[in-house]
Chain A
Amino acid sequence: MKYIDEYRDPQLARNILDEIRRKTTRHWTIMEICGGQTHSIIRNGIDQLLPDTIELVHGPGCPVCVTPLESIERALLIAARKEVIFTSFGDMLRVPGSSKDLFMVRSEGGDVRILFSPLDALQIARDNPSKEVVFFAVGFETTAPANAMAVWQAAREGIENFSVLVSQVMVPPAMRAILSSPENRVQGFLAAGHVCAVMGYEEYEPVAREFHVPIVPTGFEPVDLLAGILKTVEMLEEGRSEVVNRYGRVVSREGNRVAQEIIGKVFEVTDRQWRGIGLIPGSGLALRAAFADFDAEKKFQVTHICAAESPLCMSGSVLQGVLKPDGCPAFARECTPEHPLGATMVSSEGACAAYYNYNRNFVL
């Protein structure tokens, strides 16, 4: 398959691995930001192939994992309403709130639908004028442009029965939070390729300078990941803290200006709760006042809903790279994909789920 097979070439991967071994003189801790990268690393066993001195820790870049519990609770309340068609990316349906998930709401009669694009939700709203159609707008900068576009089009066409439940988050503030933590061990980052495709990597340059860390925008295939790790190791060994792109076929320094524009038109920066981590200032996006009519929280008056996490779940430490999933006492015991305590065990991009599915350590 073109543009995939080249980046899964075992011989090429072995060559880069040899180069990483040759360049590495000491222990380095590198964080891959994106859950998609974590998934690919564990699935392909890249962590098993790296020299012991290179430690990969897994970042907070799983949109499902970091969506705060109160957003889930609000979604459950809205989705259960008779007049609502609640639409969402598939991953969100299995995320447990404090007592149920969206699948259970669906089984109790709620009209909950899995979509691939928020623009499809807008179409459902056009086709069902007597219903209220709500889209669960979660995700990082990757999902923000399409979510913004849906709201923008709804406003332009005057589609009043459409709204979005927003829980958008952004990567750079989370990186700053991790690097500022006294527990931080991260010395270099693989930046999330698809986030950088939208935002470019210019905004990472101040982070690299300020915290003296190399940052490498990296793709998702094994060869992409190994190339990103190699570049990070090279910079660490040379004492450089720059941003160097290793996902050139997708990412440019300035990113996708059109996408950035629509995000800026519809959303504004806000403080945001991250599930398991807590409040990160300036880390979220909220609808601008001009689009308040499309804010599902206001429309259905669920802003006041609060919720508390399971005290057993340590996903916050996992999401910040402080703890590996199998270092959690509940991992594969109280917490499994069938009975997840936290969202990191739910999403296909969650680090705990990746460890559970592909490498439960007790056999491999």
Chain B
Amino acid sequence: MTIAPLCPAPIMQHETVQMAHGAGGRLSQALMQRLFMPHLHNPFLDLLDDQAKLDLPPGRVAFTTDSYVVSPVFFPGGNIGELAVNGTVNDLAVGGARPIYLSAGFVIEEGFSLAELETIVKSMAEAARKAGVMIVAGDTKVVGKGQCDRIFINTSGIGVISEGLKLSCCNLQPGDSIILSGTVGDHGMAIMTSREGLSFQSRITSDCGALNGMTAAMLEAVPTIHAMRDPTRGGVAATLNELAVSSGVGIAINETAIPVKEDVRGACELLGIDPLHVANEGKLVVAVAPADASKVLEVMRSSEHGRDAVIIGTVVVDHPGMVVMNTAFGSRRIIDLPLGEQLPRIC
């Protein structure tokens, strides 16, 4: 009599994600135990309960969610996994919160490479470790070929805001200094120049990174910071417009003060795109009373994500709800919200 070997349903029998990996059966369990848990495990996840039961330190609770659908999934300077962790960490951090817990939901297209999935999960674990947060809940769904574009990730995050902090995009006061943490457009241009169909190459890398270390240090030094935002989609232009509208003030910025990397500037020139409209994933826009600006700058410049921090403008009473740029030539122009998709120009 021959004894059939126990089937361990090893996921590596497959090189790609199968529908069964998301069906809740053996393959789902194998995926969980062999691919996700080795990288993400922590006391909350290890229990394999349907929910994480969390204790929170005192303070107001900040809660946020964001879905990541970036294409390509792997780009110069990062991948969708670390983007999903850092993006949600940053959304908490800019509200003055200390990010603590994250959840992660995966929607994976049938046929996606398991090796690539593992790389993504690994970098999520690494990003979470660097940011000092734990991924305490998760979910995986597999959809048929063509029903999503390779992999989508949703992360939600919980953080706690210390007593006394009152950051809000409604808080800008005339006279405030507007500080930008570094060069604009790195992430968006890294993505755009790595997409198929563009026949030039660049060395532009994404600025994808977690800002919570820097924001914590800034708030410790100057708890009265009026507002912070991370200028992601729509770029610095969209963020400044949102701040101006929410606070009912004008913002005046100086063209010569805006830092743009040479490669990013070149790619933007070529594609006819304004760097101020291009997404960032590791940058910060700060509004602070002018008396506190130099202190905030000093703290930012000592952080790896704020080395190039600079004052780019001021909050003004004029043109409420609008952002106006003083050009290098001494003229002025409106900096508007970008309209929909960034379209390369025709000639």
For the complex, is A90 an interface residue (Cβ under 8 Å from B)? yes
Residues of A within 8 A of B345 (CB): 36, 89-91, 348-349
CB distance from B106 to the nearest CB of A (A): 26
- Number of chain A interface residues as a range: 35 or more
Taking residues whose C-beta sits less than 8 angstroms from the other chain, chain B's interface range is 20 to 34
Is residue A96 within 8 Å, beta carbon to beta carbon, of the partner chain?
A: no
Fill in one digit per residue for B270-299: 1 if any A CB lies within 8 Å of its CB, else 0: 001000000000000000000000000000
Say yes or no: A13-B329 contact (C-beta < 8 A), given A4-B269, A348-B272.
yes
Indicate whether A116 sits within 8 Å of B199 (C-beta atoms), given known contacts A1-B269, A89-B344, A143-B346. Answer: yes
Give complex CA distance A89, B265 in Å: 21
Chain B residue nearest in CB terms to A195: B347
Inter-chain CA distance A149–B324, complex, in Å, is: 43
B44 to chain A: closest CB distance in Å? Answer: 41
Chain A residues within an 8 Å CB radius of B53: none
Instruction: Supply 25 A–B pairs (Cβ within 8 Å), ascending by A.
Output: A10-B329, A10-B330, A14-B330, A44-B329, A44-B331, A45-B327, A45-B332, A48-B332, A63-B346, A64-B346, A89-B346, A90-B346, A93-B343, A116-B344, A117-B199, A120-B199, A140-B347, A142-B347, A143-B347, A222-B329, A357-B336, A359-B333, A360-B334, A363-B324, A364-B324
A46 CB–B CB distance under 8 Å: yes
Cα–Cα distance between A120 and B200 once the two chains are bound (Å): 13
- Pick the contact of B328: A8, A138, A356, A360 (CB < 8 A): A8
Contacts of B347 in A (CB 8 A): 36, 63, 139-140, 142-143, 194
For residue A49, which residue of chain B has the nearest CB?
Answer: B331
A131 within 8 A of B: no
Is A45 a contact of B329 with CB atoms below 8 Å? yes
- Separation of A36 and B347 alpha carbons in the complex (Å): 8
Taking the complex as formed, is A338 at the interface, i.e. its CB lies under 8 A from any CB of chain B? yes
Interchain CB contact (< 8 A) of A363 among B269, B322, B340: B322
CA distance A103 to B343 in the complex (A): 12
A336 to B331, CA, bound (A): 24
Are A364's CB and B332's CB within 8 A?
yes
Q: How far is the CA of A93 from the CA of B269 in the complex (A)?
A: 21
Complex: chain A residue closest to B262, CB-CB: A1
Closest to A362 in B: B319
Name, among B198, B327, B329, B341, the residue most crowded by chain A CB atoms within 10 Å (CB to CB).
B329
Do residues A338 and B346 form an inter-chain contact, with CB atoms below 8 A? no
A211 within 8 A of B: no
4 tightest A-B CB contacts, nearest first: A45-B331, A90-B343, A358-B333, A89-B346
Task: Add 14 more A-B contacts to A36-B345, A115-B197 (CB < 8 A).
Answer: A10-B328, A13-B329, A14-B330, A36-B347, A49-B330, A49-B331, A90-B344, A90-B345, A91-B346, A120-B199, A140-B347, A194-B347, A363-B318, A364-B333
Q: Specify which chain A residues have a CB less than 8 angstroms from the CB of B6 in the assembled complex.
A: none
User: Which positions in A face B, CB cutoff 8 Å?
Assistant: 1, 4, 8, 10, 13-14, 36, 42-46, 48-49, 63-64, 89-94, 103, 113-117, 120, 138-140, 142-143, 194, 222, 337-338, 347-349, 356-360, 363-364
Task: Tell me which residues across on chain A come within 8 A of B330, comparing CB atoms.
Answer: 10, 14, 45, 49
Take A116-B199, A116-B344, A348-B272 as given contacts and tell me if A45 and B333 are in contact as well, using a CB distance cutoff of 8 Å.
Answer: yes
Q: Are the C-beta atoms of B331 and A46 separated by less than 8 Å?
A: yes
Q: Which of B330, B332, B347 is most buried by chain A, counting CB atoms within 10 A of its CB? A: B347
The one of B197, B322, B329, B334 in contact with A120, judged by C-beta atoms closer than 8 angstroms, is B197
- Contact status B343-A348, CB under 8 Å: yes
A45 to B345, CA, bound (A): 20
Contact pattern, B 150-170, Cβ under 8 Å of A = 1, otherwise 0:
000000000000000000000
Distance (Å) between the CB of B213 and the closest chain A CB?
33
Within 8 A of A (CB), among B180-236: 197-199
Closest to B322 in A: A363
Cα–Cα, bound, A363→B332 (Å): 10
From A89, A143, A357, residue with most partner B Cβ within 10 Å:
A357
**Closest CB-CB distance, A124 to chain B, in whole Å?**
9
